[in-house]
Structure 1
């Protein structure tokens, strides 16, 4: 049973108890059912049969009495009363016979009932003959029949009824005995089943209690032994239940404590030696940290000077950028004026061309006017004296036409020369507009470059400021590291003292010699390399960088290189995490004091 779980054992115990209770209940139900059956037979059958037989007996006696009354009394009222009582008694007897026919099931009972019916038939036959003789007035014959035949038939009938009653009394007694036996069996079975259930329950309870308390007592004893510092005892696990799991856990705990105590005991001396070396290394590290702090102070001062220079350059770059923007604005305005002049010259050229066309039209008109004047003079000459005045007018018109033609030719020549000069001026203005466009484009490029230089100078100034802040923070961190190193030196000294106390404290535990030796040798082999300090590179003073100035002089955009300080504000922490070496075997114990610089 110790191989079963406690829950399984309890479940089995309760299942057995439930089974026993169910068996006890079933036995009680069966026995009580038998008892009820026997009692029902006694009450519903036997007592009813006896009652019916008693009614039959009373009826037969009643008929015998009334038959004698008829023989004694002759008064009509008495005769009628006796006759009616005989009829009523006969009807009641018939009803009782029907009941008996239904209730009697045994062979002997039916046989006795048949005999009763036969004796009754004989009695009724003689009774009817007797009554008939009395009705006929033959009283003497009736009395003779009564004495000689009817009384013996009545006795025989009564004897049959008594025999049936005696038999039924025996059957009733037998049924009562069976009911009493069923009650006794019920009581006996209940007592036996109850005693068996109690015995099994006690057995299961004792078994389960022992199977739980014994391992628990063993576990308590082991725990007390471990609490007192004795780890040399053995815990034996003999079961697979929860208590066995508990003992297994205690066994594993004791073994873990053995390993832990062995490890602590074997490493306590190493901790003491290592703490002394750590204290010495911390002192050296404190001195070198102070040197680094002074170097960082000098670097911070240099960074402040460089920051002021860069800020001055940024201010000059912003002023130059503003001038370049102003020049760009003036150049753009000049370009716009030149463009307007070009458009005006184009308009003048177009107007000159139109004037030339108009002068050509005027020249044509003058030519036609001259021809018309010539034709008018010819016609006036043909007219003679009548056309002399008209000829004079025609001559004048011809002179005016000639002068108009000469003037139109001169104007046309002037307009042509003006158009040529306007075309030359337009070409020169176009060249001036193209030149102004190139000048505006160049000034814009200069403005963009000056803007980039200004932005780069601003970013340089911000970057130098951030570098200065970073150096200041490094200086503060270095000062704090120096203080921490001093505290670590004090802590290492305290650790050395506590290691000695730890050795004394672990000495309380008692261990097996085999486990002590094996654990000590294993932990000595694994703990020895930890005593050697780690190597680190030697300290170098920081040098001033000129990359900021060179980047400003180069033609490339400095945005990317100068934006780096903004993102590198968290670089020291990330670099510290990335540079932190993972635990690895240290070099041999012969290193110098410089090995502690990377602590």
Structure 2
């Protein structure tokens, strides 16, 4: 059954089996990738993403604590404390939003209880104390506000410790899920490897069976074809089948038999031709494309009969014509000698023109070299100008940055002056005990005013420097533009000179070719002269050969 299957059917079965194995491996791989993707998404949603919520809540609590301390520093300044209170309210909103988001992703009751406990501490203890600190500081009671702040530190630390514990729990759960994902990946890899090994083994077996069913008869046909290529038509083909290879084997057996008959008849015909017997009858027509062989052989026989008949007639005409060729060859030799003298004069003129063209090409090459060096220097100047412009822009940017720093110093001096005034007021309230502190505050204030004056002077100097840099940049840009235009004009001149150089080189090459052609013509004329003399001698020899040919043709047996 399998022996008579067509090759296309065998190949289709093999490819279909490979496709099925590939689909199985692909489906299992896709399913495994989806499981791994779902596990990774779950790991991100339940463990990784909540870490950001925890970080935001801890940062919000820490920011509130910092703003509390800032509020105590601005004790007695209701406007500043109101600004701080707005920031604390914003941080509180951030804390609440992240707490709600974190509770929505939590699935473990332990974590939910920890977060709710921290929220109660925040709502019942921490945040009310923060409000108390702000209120007390706004009233100017810094000591009471500091006391409340210190009592509130424990609740803030408790909240932060709680969320640090939540952070550790999330890391622990993430590690557990990551380990599970690794195990899932390992199992899927092993399963795919097993299926691939089984599929590859099955494919190899199926391919081996198909290849053997095709290769064995093909080897027999190849051996027969090799013997045929070597000229051996006695090769026996034993393979028989109803598929394509079986039909091919039958066709080769029939072809070999037909060729044996044709070659036998051709051998007989060629044997008679070798015996100078051209009087045989024409061959019968062969089958198929071999018909052209029989027609060709018949055409050759007819052509040979006609040819030798014509040759016998032509031999006499060749004998008389060779004498006429000998006389013409002698006249041709004399004319070619005269042409050789004319060509020698032309060759001398061409050589002189070629030398002048080469000198002109050398002068143009020197000019091109000078233009190239000038263009190179202008380009270097342009590059250096660009570097100078870049340096001036960097100076301008640095000056702007320094201006920003000076403005910051001026702002710090202003704030220091305000603090010194506040310190002087507090020292005056303290009476005799604050007298020394009042002196220090006055010195701090003087120092702040001097810093502000110095910053102002430095700012003016930097602004003048920036203006000078801008003027220098404008001049440098104008110079760079002028250099760029000069470079473009030089490049245009350079292109023109290169074209002239190329034309000169082409002219020199053309003159060299003309000189070579003239030399070749001179050599050809000399060869023609020699050939004419040889032709005269050959004509005499041809006459003698014609006589011999007539004698040889008498031995051929032609059709009547």
The reply to whether TM is greater than 0.5 is no
Name which one, 1 or 2, has greater alpha-carbon Rg. 1
With normalisation by structure 1, the TM-score equals 0.35
With normalisation by structure 2, the TM-score equals 0.37
